[in-house]
Structure 1
Amino acid sequence: MTRMPLPDIKNSIDRVIHAIEGRYTNGMSPASLTLAYMDWLIHTSHSPGKMNEMRENMVRKLSAFSLWAGRASLDANAPPFINPLPGDRRFRDEAWKRFPYNVMSQGFLLQEQWWHYATTGIPGVAPHHENMVSFAARQWLDLFSPTNYPMTNPLVVEKTVNTGGQNLVQGLQNMLEDIQHNLLSETDDIDPEFMPGKNLAVTPGKVVFRNRLIELIQYSPTTDKVAAEPVLITPAWIMKYYILDLSEHNSMVKYLVDKGHTVFMISWHNPTAQDRDMGMGDYLRRGVMDALKVINSVVPEQKVHLVGYCLGGTLATIAASAMARDNDDRLKSLSLFTAQTDFTEAGELMLFIDESQLSYMEDLMWDRGYLDTQQMAGAFTLLRSHDLIWSRIVSEYLLGEPPHMNDLMAWNADSTRMPYKMHSEYLQRLFLKNDLASGRFRVGDRAISLRDIRVPVFCVATQTDHVAPWRSVYKIHDLMNTEVTFVLTSGGHNAGIVSEPGHPRRSYQVGVQTAEDKHIPADDWLVRHESQDGSWWVPWCEWLDKHSGSKVAPPTMGSKEYPPLTVAPGTYVFEK
């Protein structure tokens, strides 16, 4: 009689303990944090020269600051002692130039500067641990910023006087509502002003295919003639697809359709515990490859412009590499938006990724079968704590203002989960081991190489991207042996992509590198290419036209093999 194998009791106990712990640490590994702190502490205590430098630096700065504070108390126009870092908008209001608020804000910035000096440049500290400690120090310091307290924020003081304290009463009500919301684990109510299918994701179209993982949307044509080659967009599955089909005025999908392109969009299923064993291979096969099969039926005998955004761009690159390896020539071009292919410098997200942290995270996902939306949102929120935590506290709790919402914020709140197996593979193989850039990433039974891709590539990066830093995205030049058109646009990871023509204060730089060109370092590229005002959508659409054939009559909606199932935006976009 065959005996069933016994479960791994020891491993299961460890995982259960970690899963319970993780609910109270927001998914952060205590071991990873402790190792980073101890690495910094031990090396600092064994560096008397650095410690003496730190003391001298503190005394010198405090002496100079005291003299400056004396002048600033009498002259509101005194130049600042320290300029805030780029992107730090906390003290930009003119009220912060008045005494004593100018001294408070500058004193805080001085502390911030000194702690950065104290947590970096310690001989022997691992770079990853140094980044973690420096980041943690910034987070703790942000707690004590004078902007966060009613008596030290001039804007709050002024409004309190003008309203007789009603702003604080309303702020307390806002805070109590948020506390109740969190304690009861209430799901976010859908704002009636921003609903998919009503005023978001409203570009007309049909769902022409559905499997366990995707719905494929084909958008209705608005022109008499269209480019012969269709466009397939692969968005990231960490959020809903309609980031690229927001409101009517800033929908990339509508822009493409109105310019005469046949557009298909993948809408990802929001996985549950039943989908825990879906891996990267499933997302490739049931996502990109199944979508291509359907498009080949709807638009036969035409190659496809493959487009990928963020994580979807990485998947599109993997698909293009695997197809090139297998001599599958169905692609006409490849467009990538804020998509990384080399993860050695993958930005501040790497703060949350090491062997200890991934082991801990895997145990959390093993318990539930997926990565919860709150854990993902927590990491992104910490990376932008000024904008997503403290500014909201000041606005809603101290100034008593109602929560502000727009289409991009509504989309950002509509988050999704990720299956246990897929996310584990993604973090281990791409972020930690960098298999894709190193030629070790396997599709099927063989490794793929980005150098096999021969179709032209249009690659977009954004200047202030915390998720996919532009210098990391730029490394695609070293990994591909084909023509790469690289665009660096203003804005961040999302706002820089949703950059429709007519959007104020938008600019971009663009350059083309062929397979024969010599390498240009990222910073040299920045100097060589002039900034142009406007939206990068315009040169991208011109690039698509350049790499497309003659105009033809629009294809039918769906095909005999794949008839329309329902109207856009489909059903998967509404999954919670």
Structure 2
Amino acid sequence: MTDKKLTTNRVPNLSKQDVETGYFSVTALDNVFKANMAKLTGGISPAGLLSLYFTWVSHLALSPGKQASLAEKMCRKAFRLSKSSPSMMQKDSLPCIDPLPQDKRFSDPSWQQWPYNYIYQNFLLTQQWWHNATTDIDGLSKADERSISFIARQMLDRYSPSNIPLLNPEVIQKTKNEGGANLISGFKNYLEDMDRHLAGELPAGASHYVPGESVAITEGKVVFRNHLIELIQYTPVTDKVYPEPILFVPAWIMKYYILDLSAHNSMVKYLVENGHTVFMISWLNPTTQDRDLDMESYREEGVMAAIDEVSTIFPQQKIHAAGYCLGGTLLSIAAATMAREGDNRLKSMTHFATQVDFSEAGELMIFTNESEVSYLEKMMWDQGVLDGSQMAGAFQILHSNDLIWSRMVHHYLLGEPESMNDLMAWNTDLTRMPYKMHSQYLRKLFLNNELASGQYLVKNKPIAIRDIHVPIFSVGTEKDHVAPWRSVYKLHLQSDSEAVTFVLTSGGHNAGIVSEPGHKHRHYRISTEYDSDCYTDPDSWMVENEIREGSWWPQWKEWLKEHSGELVKVQPIGKSICDAPGVYIHQK
């Protein structure tokens, strides 16, 4: 059975003759073939890769100057390495090339001994040469350049000497010391991982972090439920609270309890203990039956349903709304629609690692072009959803050194047990996304960037972020590959708010947000831009704002206080459906 909307949107002028000649049967065959092929390729389009390869080769072939430059670089790197080779045999020799700061593969002192220092420096020089070979090619677009450079880097990382037992001195030394026991332990680890994967079980140690038992334990009640969300209201713990409630809109691609992890790093607990009334959306984990839920469903039955319920419980108060990642994007769509309709129930808006302009959305754009999106749509059309493991695979590729190869070396070659903490366990608690919603999200936001260009339609009318005038607090993280902070910073160009407070914090997409007070080695920058100020580009902003040590959470707490009324007597939770964390969070 074909999806009529999927097949006809490629041919808006479908004729009677097309139908009579079996157009729908042909398209159904294409859909089925590509859907099954996508399951084998992890959703990556072979046609897209081939097209990208030939684009790169053809432009390089037409650039004799670039070819000559690459030949010269190859000779200079070979001479550089051979010149340094004799000194490498000596103790404490200086390397001819250093790894990038974030590359920890060769940080162990054993890599500085001959011949391993020669091996890894040869690899780094080769990697550097391939970066030159895939960038700065005349006629090659920046998007294609990023993609082909990324692919080349992934292929090289696969064959890094750190991943090869006979070339890795750490593995060799440990094997000698333990008589091969590390390899036996590593093989056992591999078999256990395979058993868990085939049985659909969580990784080792993740079962110790169960929502409602060891994580997501802040007390509260589910006060509203529909097909798409549960709304949790958390129990106040102070005698008085600020009058305006806080509503969290987490991303639907993850479970909400990243904002309510353990007792020591729960943002929800932190806010409740500081006098705030907190509400949280817990999203349904959709199945094939939910395939037709779309972006409008998530706006109306998700964000707006939650706002309506909070307004019913606190009818006289405006709401501090906070969105995380895609939840922040969806919140922005809802807030812009509310502004257009004259709905002024929001008091402020907070973004955590949220993009509203996807023109520079980082390395995820590598997987977001017409070929990839169309190919992925076929797989989602067949399944009805995008499975969480398929999405997780894309994120793992972005961090392959840390999430794939480093883990393989330590877990399988060195035979070390895998460590697990609450954030890592949360990251394994995967969710699915409905076919229709995810297709619209990829096309409307990533591929066409409709929200930033004023072409995103709600109820057949365009909305714009500039219509949102409430104060905004936006957080970007320095090492974010999902929502790069310079992309998050583009909110300054889209917003017409009276004031935008921007925070740049250390850490990545998740660890930068879960950055509780007392967490070691944390820092941040912060400033507020008012509507009368001139625009400052992100690099200049970073230079102008000094680093502050510690967590950014207290800054947000003070900002919320400044935009809230005087403390009032606590209003106890009235009606409830069940205790927090609810039912939807346990859906697998």
TM bin, normalised by shorter chain, reads: over 0.9
Asked if structure 1 preserves the Cα contact closer than 8 Å seen for 2:186 and 2:412, the reply is yes
Q: Equivalent residue for 2:293? A: 278
1:500 corresponds to 2:516:
yes
Q: Equivalent residue for 2:284? A: 269
Which one of 67, 73, 94 corresponds to residue 57 of structure 1? 73
1:380 corresponds to 2:380:
no
Letter of the aligned partner of 1:488 in structure 2?
Answer: L
Q: Distance in 2 between matches of 1:31 and 1:160?
A: 43
1:140 corresponds to 2:152:
no
1:265-414 equivalence runs, <5 A:
265-414=280-429
Letter of the aligned partner of 1:98 in structure 2?
Answer: Q
Letter of the aligned partner of 2:260 in structure 1?
Answer: D
C-alpha displacement of 1:126: 2.5
Q: Equivalent residue for 1:550? A: 566
Q: Equivalent residue for 2:458? A: 443
The CA deviation string for residues 179-207 of structure 1, in whole angstroms up to 9 with x for no partner, is 3444x353326834211111010000000
Give the SS at the match of 2:350. strand
Relative distance call for 1:119 and 1:267 in structure 2 (3 A) is: same
Which one of 36, 39, 52 corresponds to residue 23 of structure 1? 39
Q: Distance in 2 between matches of 1:204 and 1:354?
A: 44
Give the SS at the match of 1:509. strand
Q: Distance in 2 between matches of 1:176 and 1:565?
A: 43
C-alpha displacement of 1:553: 1.4
Asked if structure 2 preserves the Cα contact closer than 8 Å seen for 1:252 and 1:498, the reply is yes
Q: Distance in 2 between matches of 1:326 and 1:305?
A: 19
Which one of 157, 160, 178 corresponds to residue 163 of structure 1? 178
Q: Equivalent residue for 1:572? A: 584
Give the SS at the match of 1:292. helix
Instruction: Indicate the RMSD between aligned Cα atoms, in angstroms.
Output: 1.4
C-alpha displacement of 1:80: 2.3
Give the SS at the match of 2:403. helix
TM superposition outliers: structure 1 runs of 4+ over 6 Å: 4-7
C-alpha displacement of 1:86: 3.0
Q: Equivalent residue for 2:95? A: 80
Letter of the aligned partner of 2:130 in structure 1?
Answer: W
Structure 1 range deviating more: 372-381 or 530-539: 372-381
Asked if structure 2 preserves the Cα contact closer than 8 Å seen for 1:211 and 1:286, the reply is yes
Q: Distance in 2 between matches of 1:51 and 1:138?
A: 20
Give the SS at the match of 2:515. coil
Q: Equivalent residue for 2:200? A: 186
Letter of the aligned partner of 1:122 in structure 2?
Answer: I
Give the SS at the match of 1:403. coil
Q: Equivalent residue for 2:16? A: none
Q: Distance in 2 between matches of 1:82 and 1:230?
A: 54
Asked if structure 1 preserves the Cα contact closer than 8 Å seen for 2:358 and 2:445, the reply is yes
Q: Distance in 1 between matches of 2:58 and 2:234?
A: 60
Q: Equivalent residue for 2:6? A: none
Letter of the aligned partner of 2:584 in structure 1?
Answer: Y
Q: Distance in 2 between matches of 1:191 and 1:421?
A: 31
Asked if structure 1 preserves the Cα contact closer than 8 Å seen for 2:356 and 2:451, the reply is yes
Give the SS at the match of 2:430. coil
C-alpha displacement of 1:41: 0.8
- Number of aligned residue pairs: give it: 567
TM-score by length of 2: 0.94
The CA deviation string for residues 291-319 of structure 1, in whole angstroms up to 9 with x for no partner, is 11111121220000000000000011111
Letter of the aligned partner of 2:91 in structure 1?
Answer: D
C-alpha displacement of 1:556: 2.2
Asked if structure 2 preserves the Cα contact closer than 8 Å seen for 1:219 and 1:262, the reply is yes
Give the SS at the match of 1:249. coil
Q: Distance in 2 between matches of 1:178 and 1:140?
A: 24
Asked if structure 2 preserves the Cα contact closer than 8 Å seen for 1:299 and 1:555, the reply is no
Q: Distance in 2 between matches of 1:65 and 1:512?
A: 49
Letter of the aligned partner of 1:309 in structure 2?
Answer: Y
Which one of 15, 25, 29 corresponds to residue 9 of structure 1? 25
Relative distance call for 1:192 and 1:19 in structure 2 (3 A) is: closer
1:99 corresponds to 2:114:
yes
Asked if structure 1 preserves the Cα contact closer than 8 Å seen for 2:119 and 2:161, the reply is yes
Give the SS at the match of 1:250. coil
Q: Equivalent residue for 2:13? A: none
Q: Distance in 2 between matches of 1:487 and 1:29?
A: 37
The CA deviation string for residues 546-574 of structure 1, in whole angstroms up to 9 with x for no partner, is 0000101122214xxxx200001000000
1:427 corresponds to 2:439:
no
TM-score by length of 1: 0.96
Q: Equivalent residue for 2:546? A: 530
Q: Equivalent residue for 2:165? A: 150
Unaligned runs of 5+ in 2: 1-18
Q: Distance in 1 between matches of 2:146 and 2:451?
A: 24
Letter of the aligned partner of 1:481 in structure 2?
Answer: D
1:209 corresponds to 2:221:
no
Asked if structure 1 preserves the Cα contact closer than 8 Å seen for 2:235 and 2:573, the reply is yes
1:250-261 equivalence runs, <5 A:
250-261=265-276
Structure 1 range deviating more: 496-505 or 296-305: 296-305
Letter of the aligned partner of 2:272 in structure 1?
Answer: V
Q: Equivalent residue for 2:210? A: 195
Unaligned runs of 5+ in 1: none
Q: Distance in 2 between matches of 1:122 and 1:208?
A: 58
Give the SS at the match of 1:39. helix
Asked if structure 2 preserves the Cα contact closer than 8 Å seen for 1:298 and 1:555, the reply is no
Give the SS at the match of 1:89. coil
Give the SS at the match of 1:135. helix
Which one of 528, 531, 535 corresponds to residue 515 of structure 1? 531
The CA deviation string for residues 17-68 of structure 1, in whole angstroms up to 9 with x for no partner, is 1001011101001111111000001111221211111111000111011111
1:223 corresponds to 2:238:
yes
Letter of the aligned partner of 1:512 in structure 2?
Answer: T
Which one of 39, 57, 60 corresponds to residue 44 of structure 1? 60
Q: Equivalent residue for 2:8? A: none
Letter of the aligned partner of 1:485 in structure 2?
Answer: T
Letter of the aligned partner of 2:247 in structure 1?
Answer: L
Structure 1 range deviating more: 354-363 or 5-14: 5-14
Q: Distance in 2 between matches of 1:8 and 1:145?
A: 47
Q: Distance in 1 between matches of 2:227 and 2:27?
A: 31
C-alpha displacement of 1:91: 1.3
Give the SS at the match of 1:570. coil
Letter of the aligned partner of 1:67 in structure 2?
Answer: K
Q: Distance in 1 between matches of 2:154 and 2:388?
A: 22
Asked if structure 1 preserves the Cα contact closer than 8 Å seen for 2:236 and 2:572, the reply is no
Asked if structure 1 preserves the Cα contact closer than 8 Å seen for 2:134 and 2:149, the reply is yes
Percent of aligned pairs sharing the same letter: 54
Letter of the aligned partner of 2:580 in structure 1?
Answer: A
Q: Distance in 2 between matches of 1:90 and 1:554?
A: 53
C-alpha displacement of 1:237: 0.7
